[in-house]
Structure 1
Amino acid sequence: MQPSEFSMHGAVDLGARKAALEREAKRKAEAASGTANPYAVDATEENFQRDVLERSLQAPVLLLLLASWSNESKQTEQALDKLAVEAGGQWLLAKVDAEVSPQLTQALRAQGIPSLYLVLGGQIQPLAAGPMNEEQVRGLLVQVFTALRQQGVLPEGFTGVGPAQPAEQEQEPKRDPVQAEAAEAVQRGDFAAAEAAYTTALEKDPGNADYTMGLAQVRLLARVRDLDVNKIRKAAADDPTDVAAQCAVADLDMYGGKVEDAFARLVATVRRTSDDDRDRARKHLLGLFEVLPSGDPRVSKARRSLTSALF
């Protein structure tokens, strides 16, 4: 190893450690002064699955990629903290410090810092890049959450900005017991119980789109939780006809929010394989379609590509 390489490696590690300590000190100071946002979490490589992806199965998560030294990041962070408190827990704010979590930062493929993402149902979608003041953030959230309500992804009582429901409106409907049971199982890491809850419910109500999507999401989480990412990606790269490896990488891409990449990989696998291998890739792709709402345009596009690949 060259001395310059060693020095750079040490500098990066020390910088990340320093940034982490500074964020911890900031958190403690806010907690002591009573100004802390109770609906925020610092996200890192270690807790990202548990505190961001899995929690996004129960409620939206706004993911902010920031740099603690940047005044532009602080402006956006303060605006989101204020709006999160106003929303009263309708959504969670997850903060990723680019210095603390460089690998996570790279995986997010940010166009700039700060960058804001929406995480919902385990899927990551970019919302905006660059600094925003409170008015701009509020306007963006109103637009995003209104669209999700109109699509039926979020309940009518969900505003995302301000209180969940004015007092004069009807009482908030009770949470679906099946989804509540499955969510609790996922929270404790019992994916088999979550799958059983949805499977049993679908036997009684086979046309329930919410249960079908919930079951597909739980199965995806269960498949990716113990995968060796580097090993499986190498296997897929080494042998494009290895259907098991291609399906596993598609799962990883889907889990990481790279929906189009996941679909394209399996469509390509269908094209290059035949007989049982082809059918296995096709069925896996159909299963991934169910992770998203049926009206998602990415699903419609991939269905057309699949039809073309088959015929």
Structure 2
Amino acid sequence: MSQPTGQPASSSVPLRGAVDLAAVAAQAKRREQAAASAGASGGSAASGAFVVDATEASFQGVVEQSMTVPVVVDLWAEWCGPCKQLSPVLERLAAEYAGRFLLAKVDVDANPRLGQVFQAQSIPTVVAIVKGQPVPLFQGALPEQQVRAYLDELLRVAEANGVTGRIEGGAPADDAAEPPAEPPLPPLHQKAFDAIEAGDLDAAAAAYEQALAQAPADADARVGLAQVNLMRRTQDADPQAARAAAASAPSDPDAQLLVADLDLLGGHVDDAFARLVETVRTTSGDERERVRQHLVELFEIVGSDDARVAAARRALSMALF
């Protein structure tokens, strides 16, 4: 399967899909818990005005709303790990931007026609609608800084097209209540997160390696390091050239490993796993062990509780024995 690539609203917006890091996921989880607590205790429900669950039946109303305010469409599914990292970021930003855009969440399993309409080849996929017209944004679970860049560019595009409204009930962002304080990350995890935000993946890897040296059982650091290494391996890759090389050299483990990494970044988890299981099957000795270890690292990134990991582990066992 070819690697899909979205086109940003403007060339000034960076485009690079990536799985999010364990630190980011942990922060998102804490924010979700804080938001749930605020709702249970009668806290402000203002963000509910800015986020809707859209269905095939209700989507026409969403499109109509795009005539006055840009709509950001989050195409997700319950089984999608990266979706669970990205969606809380989008929801939090919808509240922060206080009605300058509407976030419409679409479960593509329950609403497959909408996934087809937006030509979502992988999820998460995020698109926008301005004056009834689709505006491709990005695919994959991007760090918050990059998501914010896409939203800011979308608002500039919307303003240029005369779409400058605000959702009723939205207050200016400066007047929004301060979000609950988050428990701090462990120092080395925060150092890694800051390095990722700054684009310094080598420094992020070094911080996670130091955390593991101090606490070998630190699962978050182990997964974070695996994800940073995945980003480092693919940051300069040309997807089209990589796929051509893998197709012309099916027995070359390095070529297959790179395409598997690209598949995982694009949300094609089953494709990535199947490619490496087949490579294990057709290699031997040190090469086979290297591919096996690489596949196990990808299992770590996706998560051991994911059904696709369980299925791929069974396939790996059969390939080995």
TM-score (norm 1): 0.54
Query: Shift in Å at residue 295 of structure 1?
Result: 1.9
Cα offsets for 1:213-235 (capped at 9, x unmatched): 10000000000001122221111
Pairing 1:182–2:149 present: no
C-alpha contact 2:263 2:272 (8 A) present in aligned 1 = yes
- Aligned equivalents of 2:197 and 2:221: distance in 1? 17
Helix, strand or coil at the partner of 1:203? helix
Aligned partner of 1:234: which letter?
A
What's the CA shift for 1:181?
Answer: 0.9
The answer to whether the aligner puts 1:87 opposite 2:95 as a matched pair is yes
From 213, 222, 241, the counterpart of 1:231: 241
Match of 1:200 in 2: 210
**Counterpart Cα distance in 2 of 1:273 and 1:105:** 36
Residue in structure 2 matching 1:299, options 301, 309, 312: 309
- Mapped to 2, the partners of 1:45 and 1:234 lie a distance apart of 29
Q: Return the match for 2:230 from 220, 223, 232.
A: 220
Distance (Å, rounded) in 2 between the aligned partners of 1:281 and 1:181: 30
Letter in 2 for 1:173: P
2:276 corresponds to which residue?
Answer: 266
Distance of aligned partners of 1:105 and 1:186 in 2 relative to their CA distance in 1, 3 Å threshold? farther
Aligned mate of 2:15, from 48, 51, 55: 48
Aligned residues: 209
Identity of aligned residues (%): 39
Does 2:258 match 1:248? yes
Match runs of 1:47-66 below 5 Å: 47-49=14-16, 58=24
Structure 1 residues 241, 199: CA separation in 2 closer, same or farther (over 3 Å shift)? same
Contact 2:211 2:221 in 1 (8 A): yes
Write the deviation string for residues 254-274 of structure 1: whole angstroms up to 9, x where unpaired.
Answer: 111111111110001111222
Question: Which residue type is aligned with residue 96 of structure 2?
Answer: G
Between the aligned partners of 1:251 and 1:202, the Cα distance in structure 2 is 23
- Shift in CA distance, 55/118, structure 1 to aligned 2, threshold 3 Å: farther
The alpha-carbon deviation at position 57 of structure 1 amounts to 6.9
- The Cα shift of 1:252 comes to 0.5
CA distance in 2, matches of 1:293, 1:48: 25
TM-superposition CA deviations, 1:188-210 (whole Å, max 9, x none): 22211110100010111111111
Identify the structure with bigger relative contact order (alpha carbons < 8 Å, sequence gap 6+). Answer: 2
Q: Contact 1:43/1:94 (CA < 8 Å) preserved in 2? A: no
Gaps of 5+ in 2: 1-6, 29-50, 52-59, 75-89, 105-117, 144-176
- Name the residue aligned to 1:139: none
| Residue of structure 2 equivalent to 1:278 | 288
- In the alignment, the residues of structure 2 paired with residue 299 and residue 181 of structure 1 have an alpha-carbon distance, to the nearest angstrom, of 29
